[in-house]
Amino acid sequence: MKGKRSLPDTIAPGWLVVQVFGTLFVTATLVTARESTPWVWGLYGLGAGCWLLFMALDRSRPGLAAASLGAAALLPAVALGAAEDSSALLLTAINLARFAALSAPPVAAIMAVSAGTMALAVLTWPISGEPPADAFGHATLLLAITLIGVNHRQHVVRREQAEQLLEQTRLAQAEQARAATLDERTRIAREIHDVLAHSLGALGVQLELAEAMLAEKGDVATALATVRRSRGLAADGLAEARNAVAALRQDIPSLAGALAALAEVHRRDHRAPVDFHADGVPRGLSSAATVSLLGTAREALTNAAKHAPDAPVSMTLDFTADMVRLRVRNPLRAEVAAEGGFGLTGMRERLALAGGTLRSGHQDGSWHVTAEVPE
């Protein structure tokens, strides 16, 4: 994607203006030339043909066009000593100035052509009948024209390099945005999958149990209780899915508020005390950090209800300068403490997506889970 062009460049690009004026100067010089020597006119004609070839190839084949323009500068220089007027000098200067300003040829090639024109200006003076000072003056003029052209060339090269760098930067930014979008989609899909897989899996088990109670034992009361539990699981799964979507969309008021709501649900459903408090100055977090910490807290509370029912749970959220830390602690029976596990793999994977880490272990009769996310 190119940058915006100015109005003059939109009407007529700079390169076209230079080509048109150069053609006008070459034409005017040829029309006003006072020359009676046929071979000099032949050199002028060849030089004009090289100029026209340069015009035709400049945009499509810049290397060949530059070589043609270099020849257009050298051909009239051969006639500098034999020309009857200043037409040879003017044609050489016009072509050399344009050649020195091109970005396609290397600087070494430009200096070689310039040195060639200056050498011809000096070496042909004996046949001109003019004093040597004039020949050296012509060579000095051609050197000055070359230096001016090379200086302009440097500006052109820097501008082209800046445009290329800008284009590469834009392409890199577009690729980064695409990669970020794919990562976000993957993360959202994983979160929704985790919630639905957990809820629907448990729901399927309960429904299979209810079917077995009815088909094999005819135990309607047990089957009815199982169906009611299934309905509760479905409602909980729907609530968890809504919470996950809200967290991904950042519709929740704050992480601390969402954790407080989780604690309240745990108190209500499991009739177990949950002590939750937040330390530090709360701040807005990314959806990745929010979802990963909410998922960790939900999994830790589920494990506490499973392995230490009715036991009190302590949950703390710390806001530090460069990270957010969540600690969950609950008493644990000795026989359970030796098992370990408790869905730790899922917690670590969830936190790793947000660049976070997880530490867990048994200490002083309690199970500790500590999640940290840089934010």
The pTM is what?
Answer: 0.46
CA triplet 263, 264, 269: central angle to 5 degrees?
100
End position of a domain, from candidates 173, 189, 204: 173
DSSP state of 217: I
Is pLDDT larger for residue 273 or for residue 12?
A: 273
In a domain, 26, yes or no: yes
Average pLDDT over residues 253-273: 83
Same domain (yes/no): 134, 273: no
End position of a domain, from candidates 122, 148, 173: 173
End position of a domain, from candidates 142, 173, 204: 173
In a domain, 96, yes or no: yes
Averaged confidence pLDDT in the chain: 80
Least trusted range by pLDDT, from 21-30, 92-101, 334-343? 334-343
- Side-chain-side CA neighbours of 341 within 13 Å: the count stands at 6
> Is it the case that residue 218 has pLDDT exceeding 80?
no
Could you tell me which residues are beta bridge partners of residue 331?
366
In tens, the pLDDT along 279-300 reads 988 887 877 788 788 888 888 8
Same domain (yes/no): 25, 147: yes
Is pLDDT larger for residue 245 or for residue 369?
A: 369
Decide if 293 contacts 371 (C-beta within 8 A): yes
Same domain (yes/no): 169, 37: yes
Is pLDDT larger for residue 8 or for residue 317?
A: 317
Domain extent at residue 60: 7-173
pLDDT of residue 271: 81
Average pLDDT over residues 56-81: 90
In a domain, 196, yes or no: no
Strand order in the sheet with 357-363: 274-279, 313-319, 323-331, 366-374, 357-363
Same domain (yes/no): 169, 311: no
SS3 assignment, position 280: coil
C-alpha 307/C-alpha 123 separation (Å) is: 102
> Is it the case that residue 373 has pLDDT exceeding 80?
yes
Same domain (yes/no): 50, 156: yes
Same domain (yes/no): 39, 132: yes
Question: What CATH number should be reported for the domain holding residue 375?
Answer: 3.30.565.10
In a domain, 267, yes or no: yes
pLDDT of residue 247: 56
Query: Cα dist. 347→286, 303, 357 in Å?
Result: 18, 12, 9
Average pLDDT over residues 106-117: 92
Same domain (yes/no): 147, 295: no
> Is it the case that residue 202 has pLDDT exceeding 60?
yes
What amino acid occupies position 161? Q
C-alpha 65/C-alpha 22 separation (Å) is: 15
In a domain, 128, yes or no: yes
In a domain, 207, yes or no: no
Q: Hey, what are 42's tokens?
A: 């032949």
In tens, the pLDDT along 119-139 reads 998 887 777 667 778 888 888
Least trusted range by pLDDT, from 73-77, 156-160, 240-244, 370-374? 240-244
Same domain (yes/no): 264, 123: no
Same domain (yes/no): 144, 33: yes
C-alpha dihedral over 10, 12, 16, 21, to 10 degrees? -150
What amino acid occupies position 208? E
pLDDT of residue 224: 78
Tally of domains within the chain: 2
SS3 assignment, position 155: helix
Output the CA torsion sign for 207, 208, 214, 215: positive
Decide if 370 contacts 318 (C-beta within 8 A): no
Could you tell me which residues are beta bridge partners of residue 374?
323
In a domain, 51, yes or no: yes
> Is it the case that residue 66 has pLDDT exceeding 80?
yes
In a domain, 218, yes or no: no
In tens, the pLDDT along 78-105 reads 988 888 888 999 999 999 988 998 888 8
Give the pairing of strands 313-319 and 274-279: parallel
